[in-house]
Amino acid sequence: MLKQSAAIAGALIVSGCASSLPHYRMEALTRAYAIKAQGAQGCFPGEYASLLAALDAGDRLMQKDGSEEADRYYLLALRKADILARKLAEAKERQEADRREAEERQREADRRKSLEDLRRKLEAERIRNERESRTMTEKSGSVGVKERESRQLPQYHTVKRGETLPQIAAQPEVYNDVTLWPLLYRANRDQIRDPRRIWPGQMLRIPRNVSREDIAEARRYAQERPAP
């Protein structure tokens, strides 16, 4: 439609009718091209079609009756173009406002998620700290019991003739468990090179503050190796 209007204008100029061209025609065409480039045809198809219809009516009158009557339609087309331009600007502003609002909603959602993640992290740390505190309290109580027991039991044992490490470990005042002889062996490596050879008169240290892991490891060691 716009190409057709431009072609009509060119034909009139070539035919020598340039002096009779309507005053508003070129301005209306220019505005119509401009708002088409801005997307008016896609955003407001009905209004844009009405604008083209006004231009077309003006072109028909210009070819038939002259420029004065046609100029009314071109002026109408120009006003329609102005209205469409304002609508396009308003639509663009709404789109920009919607975009900013969507970004703000996303930022707010991200902020809430960050706060929730932080709350969960702090809650997990609190639970972990409470658990560790209870564990430390329990260990403290267990250590206290072990310390009291160790003060009542001998810390050393003097080897007697014919004794072996398993025999010493089996004594009630030592460990009362024959399989714990590796504890004695490891605690006295400075004077026992071979667990099968100990000598009368040796004073062996008796480890008291041993953990469950130490006891389990000693028993595994005793099972894997023949008793001295």
User: 17 near 65, Cβ under 8 Å?
Assistant: no
What is the pLDDT at residue 157?
93
Q: What is the pLDDT of residue 63?
A: 85
HSE-up of 145 (CA within 13 Å, CB side)? 6
Give the pLDDT score at 66. Answer: 65
Measured distance CA(20)–CA(17) in Å, rounded = 5
Residue 32 and residue 81 in contact, taking contact as beta carbons nearer than 8 Å? yes
Per the CB < 8 A criterion, the answer to whether 160 and 202 are in contact is no
Spell out the residues 6+ positions from residue 53 whose beta carbon is closer than 8 angstroms to its own.
Answer: none
Q: What Cα–Cα distance (Å) separates residue 202 from each residue in 156, 164, 190?
A: 10, 12, 11
Residues β-bridged to residue 157: 204
The tens-digit pLDDT sequence of the chain (228 residues) is 554 454 444 444 434 444 456 688 899 899 989 999 989 889 899 999 999 999 998 988 888 866 678 888 999 999 999 999 999 999 889 989 999 999 999 999 999 999 899 889 889 988 988 888 888 777 655 555 555 555 588 999 999 998 999 999 999 999 999 999 999 989 999 999 899 899 999 999 999 989 999 999 999 998 988 777
- 27 within 8 A of 85, measured Cβ to Cβ: no
* Secondary structure class of 203 (helix, strand, coil): strand
pLDDT at residue 14, as a whole number: 39
Q: What are phi and psi of 129, to 5 degrees?
A: -65, -40
DSSP E strands, 85-177: 156-158
Considering Cα of 167, then 169, then 170, then 171, what sign does the dihedral take?
Answer: positive
**How much is the pLDDT for 64?**
81
| Angstrom distances, CA of residue 116 to CA of 95, 130, 185 | 31, 21, 55
CA dist., res. 146 & res. 19, Å (int): 118
User: For the chain, first and last CA: distance in Å?
Assistant: 111
Question: Can you give the pLDDT at residue 136?
Answer: 75
- Among candidates 32, 117, 22, which has minimal Cα distance to 69? 22
Q: For position 140, what pLDDT does the model report?
A: 59
User: What pLDDT is recorded for position 169?
Assistant: 94
